Structure 1
Amino acid sequence: MSGETLSVVSINVNGIRAAVKQRNENNPGMLPWLTAADPDVVLLQEIRATEKLTRTALAPALDAGWHLSMTESAVAGRSGVGVLSRAEPTAVRIGYGDDEFDVLGRYLEADFTGDNGTVTAASVYVPSGAALTDNPKDVEKYEEKRRFLDTFGPYLDALLSSRRDVVVGGDWNIARDERDIKNWKGNLKNSGFLPHEREWVAQRLSAGWVDVAREHHGDVAGPYAWWSWRGKAFDNDAGWRIDYHLASPALAQRAERAWVDRAEAYDLRWSDHAPVAVVFSR
């Protein structure tokens, strides 16, 4: 991949087949957004479809020259991550070496090699988890997320120590601190803002990973990238910043711009998440 910049967008599509559908006369769905935004790499999460169905949903984009690399979940209709790119990846790696999670469509890396070297772009979908209660289903979800973090954290640290240019973007399902949730006081005991989850992110940052958007935006609330479909959360910007890019230090230093591509109105959304974009100099 050549050129002066590399734009990487991360978006939880909340079901690729739903994302590409026209929702109303003013909202044609994801595909026109893709054409207008014209990023180099799109990190997809929660595809929730087989690769065959995903390729059918994205057929207009693929016919136009986009390349899709993805991993579906062994559990039908769940998870699934991918990388949609203008250039064909020089290498693709599925999973991170964990027998439980590698078949569940939660992590994928793609290498892009050009005149200025190789950049690895990875898409991650961290389990949503649950607060630890007496409910067996909550316990199961809580423990699943904890197992994922326990094995994925060391993998990220090893990836960082390789000193490659790497950006890992996705739906982390963890807000770092009070700046990342509008109603943080009301979520102190909820999954996504539990102490051990926030400490896990802090450990990755201490290891050297850089939260590109936070570095770019500074000490401000948000910008949020997920809002509940319910009530007036979107209209009131009562959101969460759980979608972000963690980049290796050398690559993070080349970040020129970072922003959330927030829809102008509630009925113009094609996912409950908004695309989060970063532009790196090459």
Structure 2
Amino acid sequence: MKLVSWNVNGIRATLGKGLPEFVASERPEILCLQETKAREEQVALPLEFGGYHGFWNSAEKPGYSGTAVFTREQPISVKHGMGIADHDREGRVLTLEYPDFHLVNVYTPNAQDELRRLPYRMQWDDAFRLYLLALEATGKPVIFCGDLNVAHNEIDLARPKDNRKNAGFSDEERASFTKLLGSGFHDTFRHFYPDKTGAYSWWSFRGAARTNNVGWRIDYFGVTKGILGSVKDASIMPHITGSDHCPVTLTLG
């Protein structure tokens, strides 16, 4: 069973930059998208999406943020947001329940330049961690995926010293992600590839960053211990273009 997560930086743009061909080639059982920047009724999906059930959580602000999940199997239930008004206006969380697990697609807020949104980001991180733990407390394993907007350790970005106090690599954001993992979640890519360098999922559009692989690993699949034994692989697909992010995958046995 293949799950794919991809921040598409605007689904309407990415539909013209290889997304349909990617879906046709990879045929994932579940496709989670972030930063869709559109409402469902604004998007004319191609034939490649014909075998999927689609679920959307769009931001109140037009053309901003948003998440979507396309799944071959009809889920048991779908939840939009975390049930917290202050955090649910930007369409950042979409939860699907399946017989064997909860799947949470997330687009974490960016702390922004000069960390001006960091206080809100810290509130968000706490709320999201508690939300995941509440799902796990139901007795069913949890998988979360998406753009977490943090490079956890120095190995997860090309220039850690230059970015120490920048959004996505601040001490506060890194410590918060450590706390999330410490609460019982596993970074699946590092589970399989703990020492792999140069493995990134996002590159700036500036300075030929992607060509030179000056990137960050900020897109994740995380799982609770109860399903870790079923995880067969986790991968990053830097050769897939169409966005400033590339897809990341999880394979369940």
User: Structure 2-normalised TM-score?
Assistant: 0.95
SS in 2 for 1:124: strand
Q: Which protein has the larger Cα radius of gyration, Structure 1 or Structure 2?
A: 1
5+ unaligned residues in a row in structure 2: which ranges? none
* Equivalent position of 2:216 in the other structure: 240
* Equivalent position of 2:16 in the other structure: 21
Distance 1:247 1:88 in 2: 21
Contact 1:228 1:234 in 2 (8 A): yes
* Equivalent position of 1:209 in the other structure: 185
Tell me by how many angstroms 1:90 deviates. Answer: 2.0
Matching of residues 56-205 of structure 1 within 5 Å? 56=44, 58-62=45-49, 64-113=50-99, 118-132=100-114, 139=116, 141-205=117-181
Distance 1:82 1:250 in 2: 25
Give the length in aligned residue pairs. Answer: 253
Aligned-partner residue type, residue 107 of structure 2: Y
Contact 2:20 2:46 in 1 (8 A): no
Aligned-partner residue type, residue 89 of structure 1: P
Aligned-partner residue type, residue 30 of structure 1: L
Contact 1:157 1:204 in 2 (8 A): no
* Equivalent position of 1:47 in the other structure: 36
Q: Deviations over 1:176-227 (max 9, x none)?
A: 1101011011000101011111111111111110110110112222521111
* Equivalent position of 2:250 in the other structure: 278
> Structure 1's 162 and 223: CA in aligned 2 closer, same or farther, altered over 3 A?
farther
User: Structure 1-normalised TM-score?
Assistant: 0.85
Matching of residues 256-275 of structure 1 within 5 Å? 256-263=232-239, 269-275=241-247
> Structure 1's 16 and 120: CA in aligned 2 closer, same or farther, altered over 3 A?
same
5+ unaligned residues in a row in structure 1: which ranges? 1-5, 23-28, 133-137
Contact 2:158 2:214 in 1 (8 A): yes
Aligned-partner residue type, residue 187 of structure 2: D
